[in-house]
């Protein structure tokens, strides 16, 4: 992991982000359920770092990534990027379409599924060229040369420009997805489970590629993943998310060596053993993660936490710094 100076300026800041959705399955019921996918999320990402976001399926990680890119509606919160306010829901502010188009070039996404995120009816050159032409980065004649350069940068032959997605393996498709994002020369990438659909050996290749591109192009990543072992060694800082909120945030190594929140301890204990003789104690949580429409008073983790007491049932804990750079939202810790 590259040594990052975290005193640099903040690239992206999220304040009290909220994304709620109506349950369409109950459209004919009197009281539709409101699913709180993201419920008051706040964090900062510094220039040049890899910020990891982990948690169980359904906790709101992917929704957070899409909300940051202004791809889905929000009911609350504010977002600033590179010193510019993108939106502030409470004050009913959102940048104009022209400014958002310019900002969109600097904020790109690597999608989870390399199969469904590429149009099977378009060749690779056309897929990558779309964004470049949309933002006026190249004209039609220059595009082909630039696309070949991007493909080669991502470890593919420039000669595959006229091929179609079905002619590539899963790892090659993910490289194409990365190439499409990098073609716009962005500053920031949301990486939504970029290696989950790939074999382990291919995962390592993609991560090495992303690491080298980060250094070469001075990129900043929001890295969303379920693979905790991968997050530990690839990310600089990590936030643990539970039901739309961050319950713990710290530097990666500190978080894994000294987890504070009960939920974080449970997640880390689930990491498979690396050696047959390694002794490991598995912490089992009660029940499954509740749905986002369940209104849980107090700490949202109190229904599953083995250490929950009375205060946890009515008071919501806030993120507080327990050691330098290590923040925890738990009544038992702070």
Residue in the structure block whose two tokens are 């880390």:
268
Tens-digit pLDDT profile for residues 68-78: 999 999 999 99
- Mean pLDDT to the nearest integer, 269-294: 74
Q: Nearest to residue 242, comparing CAs of 284, 275, 288?
A: 288
Residue 29 reports pLDDT greater than 60: no
How does strand 188-192 pair with strand 220-224? Answer: parallel
Whether the pLDDT of residue 9 is over 50: the answer is yes
Q: In what order do the strands lie in the sheet with 245-251?
A: 107-110, 188-192, 220-224, 50-54, 237-242, 245-251, 326-328, 320-323
Under 8 Å CB-to-CB from 211, ≥6 apart: which residues? 2, 234
10-328 fold = Rossmann fold (3.40.50)
The region that residue 138 occupies, defined by phi over 0 for left and psi between -120 and 50 for alpha, beta otherwise, is beta
Buried b (16+ CB within 10 A) or exposed e, 245-269: bbbbbbbbebbbeebbbbbbbbbbe
| 112 vs 6: which has the higher pLDDT | 112
Half-sphere exposure of 53 (CA within 13 A, CB side): 29
Task: Say whether pLDDT at 334 is over 70.
Answer: no
Q: Six-digit token pair at 320?
A: 């507080």
pLDDT over 80 at 264, yes or no:
yes
Give pairs for 132-138: CB < 8 Å, separation 24+: 132/183, 132/184, 135/101, 135/104, 135/105, 135/184, 137/105, 137/183, 137/184, 137/185
278: its two tokens: 């390694």
pTM confidence score: 0.90
pLDDT confidence of residue 7? 42
Task: Give the C-alpha distances (Å, rounded to integers) separating 32 from 19, 29, 293, 294.
Answer: 16, 6, 10, 12
Q: At 222, give phi and psi (nearest 5°).
A: -105, 115
């Amino acid at each position: 992991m590259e040594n990052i100076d975290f005193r640099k300026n903040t690239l992206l800041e999220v304040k009290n982000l909220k994304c709620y959705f109506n349950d369409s399955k109950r459209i004919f019921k009197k009281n539709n359920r409101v699913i709180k996918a993201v419920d008051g999320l706040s964090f900062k990402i510094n220039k040049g770092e890899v910020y990891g976001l982990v948690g169980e399926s359904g906790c709101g990680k992917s929704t957070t990534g899409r909300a940051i890119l202004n791809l889905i509606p929000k009911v609350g919160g504010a977002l600033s990027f590179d010193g510019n306010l993108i939106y502030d829901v409470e004050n009913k502010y959102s940048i104009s379409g022209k400014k958002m188009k310019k900002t969109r070039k600097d904020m790109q996404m690597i999608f989870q599924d390399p199969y469904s995120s590429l149009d099977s009816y378009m060749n690779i050159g056309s897929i990558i060229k779309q964004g470049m032409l949309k933002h006026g980065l190249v004209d039609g004649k220059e595009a082909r040369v630039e696309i070949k350069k991007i493909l080669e940068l991502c470890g593919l032959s420039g000669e595959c420009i006229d091929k179609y997605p079905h002619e590539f393996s899963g790892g090659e498709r993910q490289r194409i997805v990365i190439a499409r994002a990098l073609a716009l020369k962005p500053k920031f990438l949301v990486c939504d489970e970029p290696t989950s659909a790939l074999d382990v050996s291919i995962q390592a290749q993609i991560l090495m590629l992303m690491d080298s591109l980060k250094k070469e192009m001075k990129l900043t990543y929001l890295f969303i993943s379920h693979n905790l072992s991968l997050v530990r060694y690839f990310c600089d800082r990590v936030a643990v998310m539970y039901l739309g909120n961050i319950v713990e945030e710290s530097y990666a190594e500190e978080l894994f060596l000294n987890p504070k929140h009960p939920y974080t301890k449970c997640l880390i204990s689930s990491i498979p053993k690396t050696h047959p003789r390694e002794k490991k104690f598995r912490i089992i949580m009660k029940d499954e993660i509740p749905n986002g429409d369940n209104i849980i008073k107090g700490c949202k983790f109190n229904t599953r936490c083995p250490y929950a007491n009375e205060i946890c049932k009515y008071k919501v804990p806030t993120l507080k710094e327990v050691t330098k750079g290590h923040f925890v939202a738990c009544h038992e810790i702070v």
